[in-house]
Amino acid sequence: MRALAVIGSGPRGIGVLERIAANLATVPVGAPIVIHLIDPHPPGPGRIWRGEQSSLLKLNSMARDVTMFTDESSTIVGPVHPGPSLAEWAEGVNSGLITDVRVPDDDLAAQIRTLTGSSFPTRRLQSLYLDWFYRRALAGLADDVTVRVHAATAREVTEPVGAGSPDSDHAHGRQRVHLDDGSVLSVDVVLYALGHLESRPGPQQVELAAFAARCGLVNIPPAFTADADLSRLVPGENVIVRGMGLAATDLVVLLTEGRGGRFTRTAHGELEYEPSGREPRLHLGSRRGVPYRSKIASSLQAPRVEPRFFTADIARSLAASQQSVQFGREVWPLIAKEMLWGYYSELFRGHPTRVTTEWPDFAEQFAPLDWDGDQLRALVARTVPDPRDRLDIARLDRPLASLRFESRAALQQHLREHIRADIHERSSDDHSPTLALFYSLLYSFFDFASIAEAPRSSAGSRTDELGRWFPGFFSYVASGPPGHRLEELLALSRAGTVQFLGPDMWARADAAGCFVAGSPSVDGHITARALVDARLPECSVTASASAVLRSLVSSGVGSEERVDGDDSRATSGKLRVRPLDSRVVDASGTAHPLRFAVGPFTTAPFVGAFSRPGTDAVSFRENDRVARAILDQLATTAARAGAAEAAAEAAAEAAAGPQRLATGPQLLAAEPDLLAAAPF
């Protein structure tokens, strides 16, 4: 029997499990398999999507845009096994076509009944979908595959001395997975599928925590909002919040509606907030000073234009043609032009009354121009009369840049107008070019993700542009909260429960024994007894809160990615894996034969554990490659074990032959029936 340990059984771990089930017929192992799923949280949802969390917390994707299944768009080697999106799954449950769903309470039953394709589902509902997907993956496994679930945490993986090198005599030794319940599993292959991870606090965070402890303050470090202890935030007191992305959105929800506040609509349709009196006063700020752009709910008015300036072929050609690719200088201009191409194609073809020429004429003039040049700006000025219809990518990214406000009240009013405009632009078909922009950015992101590991970039490009700026820009433009969350933020602002600090926000510990925050865009500052970092922890495998991941690196089996460039100490914080099959790579560049890793903590491109249907999901492609590589490795191990067992049996028979002859009388006396068959 061959054995696989999957450390982490959230969406990514079970995604690989489903691919193993799908590929078993074409990649036979030749022996029974036992798969150990190791996670203290339920298989399928895992920690992030577990059912035991507030029903107020939602996905930032519509139900029709969420799937765990491969489809006709999937460019994978293994077989495609289609299945329902989250919206189709709910339809199947409601119609009775899907009967094996465990609905634990009336609230979730009501959510399933009322879910539509355009609904933003709760994380608890997603938990049910992931549980169902997991059980479907189990049902797809062959009869000789056994799955054992361990509600435990893996602490360390060890192996025979000398193991790890493909040329080593011990390269295929059994891996020993040590769990926190004291048990040890002996397996042939290990897959790390740990998902999003917290990190140990860095020096700045340690200093802030020590300051808060000395002064009796509250400091909540970067964390997943559902896991943070918000009970320490006192009603009525100021709370400084660093971050205005999705983590901040969840924080605001839990500290307002989650504490008993209510949203109601006036006779004129405007949303109002009725406080419960248990809310703190939230002061939100960030580098941009504005919330992430809301999710788009409009529809294209013309067919989506084919990408032209940044495609998968162009990305691969760029990666192959140069020894070193600088993202900011060579990749970003192509992506930016692709965004402009998508935006203006929809404006000219979907809204021809708002332009002065036809699309073919504009496209011909547009094609040779620099994306950020004066000639392109002049072309747009001539052909797009209304400045509000023109796309300025720099202004899109930093809408408050260079602005100065005469008072904090003026800043609040400006932010409300900005949020109101954003909601309208992203929900009205009159502004469908915004949706075309989204698609261009989304597919450019996918195409870039497929070559993200190929370019050898400088330290600055690799860690700052690729590690922080571009993913941050993508999330800000394309992966913001549902529109109704920003409408709620407006209501909270009008009620005084939320105030905005402004762009380029700063916050510090003050000698007076409090936290202080402000922005260079407006005079004055805010003092508070609580500071919350409303953002996800930065990835650092060497400082990970996961002991099994830290030990993977400290043992030398794995390594943190080092970035070539001016600063030899620069790292991305991620675990190195081989692009071909996501095998763990050590500091020398050698891929371990028995250890694999998938997820956001690795150097492989990460664009979510689940995906939109019909987008040839990057993560599904990796899941398929990894599943096939694992099965190949198990088959190799099984073949070697079989050969070794056969050799051992032959040796034993050879050794036993003379002894049989010498003791023939005893054998015959014990088993007289052997006499007729004996060759002697």
Task: Tell me what pLDDT residue 480 has.
Answer: 94
Three-state DSSP at 175 gives: strand
Q: Residue 565's pLDDT is what? A: 54
What confidence tens digit (pLDDT) does each residue in 375-393 have? 999 999 999 999 999 999 9
The dihedral through the CA atoms of 250, 254, 258, 261 has a sign that is negative
Residue-by-residue DSSP string for 346-393 = HHHHH-GGGSSS-HHHHHHHHTTS-TTSHHHHHHHHHH--SGGGS--H
User: CA-CA distance, 389 to 229, in Å (whole number)?
Assistant: 44
Lowest mean per-residue pLDDT among 14-18, 304-308, 564-568: 564-568
Task: Please state, in angstroms and rounded to a whole number, the distance separating the CA atoms of residues 583 and 34.
Answer: 20
**Spatial separation of the C-alpha atoms in residues 539 and 558, rounded to whole Å:** 15
Q: Per-domain residue ranges for the chain? A: 2-199+539-639, 203-289+508-533, 312-478
Within 8 A by CB and 6+ apart from 483, the residues are 294, 295, 297, 423, 426, 427
Span 641-668, pLDDT tens digits: 877 766 766 776 677 665 433 333 333 3
Average pLDDT value for the chain = 90
Q: Flag whether pLDDT at 170 surpasses 60.
A: no
User: 501: which residues sit within 8 A by CB, 6+ positions away?
Assistant: 240, 283, 284, 285, 289, 517, 518, 519, 526
CB 217 within 8 A of CB 514: yes
In whole angstroms, what is the distance from residue 79 CA to residue 211 CA? 56
DSSP state of 582: -
Of the CA atoms within 13 Å of residue 512, those in its CB half-sphere come to: 7
* Cβ neighbours around 485 below 10 Å, total: 22
* pLDDT band (50, 70, 90) for residue 465: low
Who contacts 242 (Cβ-Cβ below 8 Å, separation ≥6)?
285, 286, 505, 507, 517, 531, 532, 533, 534, 535
Q: What is the pLDDT of residue 9?
A: 97
pLDDT at 460 over 90: no
Spatial contact of 525 and 411, defined as CB atoms under 8 Å apart:
no
CA distance 477 to 343: 13
Class at the top of the CATH hierarchy for domain 2-199+539-639: alpha beta
DSSP code, position 430: G
What integer pLDDT is reported at residue 453 of this predicted model?
54
Pairing of strands 530-533, 238-242: parallel
Pairing of strands 583-585, 591-597: antiparallel
Output the CA angle 272-276-282, nearest 5 degrees. 75
Q: Categorize the per-residue pLDDT at 557 as very low, low, confident or very high, splitting at 50, 70 and 90.
A: very high
Q: Is the pLDDT of residue 130 over 50?
A: yes
pLDDT band at 312 (very low <50, low <70, confident <90, very high): confident
- Report the distance separating Cα 486 and Cα 507, nearest Å: 24
Burial annotation 538-570 (CB, 10 A radius, 16+ → b, else e):
ebbbebbebebbbbbbeeebbbbbbbebeeeeb
- Name residue, tokens 């303050």: 217
Tokens of 530: 């609580």
Q: Output 168 or 264, whichever has higher pLDDT.
A: 264
Residue 322's CB is within 10 A of a number of other CB atoms, namely 13
Other beta carbons within 10 angstroms of residue 298's beta carbon come to 18
- Tens digits of per-residue pLDDT, 212-271? 999 999 999 999 999 999 999 999 999 999 999 999 999 999 999 999 999 999 999 999
pLDDT at residue 458 tops 60: no
pLDDT, one tens digit per residue, over 335-353 is: 999 999 999 999 999 999 9
Q: Residues near 185 by Cβ (< 8 Å), separated by ≥ 6?
A: 3, 5, 36, 38, 150, 176, 177, 179
- Tell me if 224 sits within 8 A of 40, measured CB to CB: no
Residue 85: name the closest of 36, 145, 125, 52 by CA. Answer: 125
Using CA atoms, how far apart are residues 666 and 644, in angstroms rounded to an integer?
31
User: CA-based angle 294:297:302, to the nearest 5?
Assistant: 125
Answer whether residue 106 shows pLDDT above 60.
yes
Q: What is the enclosing helix (H) or strand (E) of 524?
A: strand 522-528
Q: Helix (H, G, I), strand (E, B), or coil: what is residue 515?
A: strand
pLDDT digits (tens, 9 = 90+) for 492-542: 999 999 999 999 999 999 999 999 999 999 999 999 999 999 998 888 899
Q: Which residues contact 498 (CB under 8 A, 6 or more apart)?
A: 252, 282, 283, 284, 489, 492
* Structure confidence by residue, pLDDT tens digits, 2-48: 999 999 999 999 999 999 999 999 999 999 999 999 999 999 999 99
Query: How far does Cα 680 stand from its chain's mean position?
Result: 71
- H/E stretch holding 488 reads helix 483-495
Q: Token pair for residue 432?
A: 């469908």
- Condensed to tens digits (0 to 9), the pLDDT of residues 418-444 reads 999 999 999 999 999 999 999 999 999
For residue 562, pLDDT over 90 is answered with no
Determine the pLDDT at residue 326. Answer: 77
What burial class does residue 133 get, using C-beta atoms within 10 Å of its C-beta: 0-12 exposed, 13-18 middle, 19+ buried?
buried
Q: What share of the chain in percent tops pLDDT 90? A: 78
- Of the CA atoms within 13 Å of residue 515, those in its CB half-sphere come to 28
DSSP three-state, residue 33:
strand
Query: Which one-letter amino acid corresponds to residue 116?
Result: T
DSSP-derived 3-state class of residue 163:
coil
In this prediction, residues 40-66 reach a mean pLDDT of 95
Question: Does 185 score more than 80 pLDDT?
Answer: yes
Pull the structure tokens for residue 552.
Answer: 């993977």
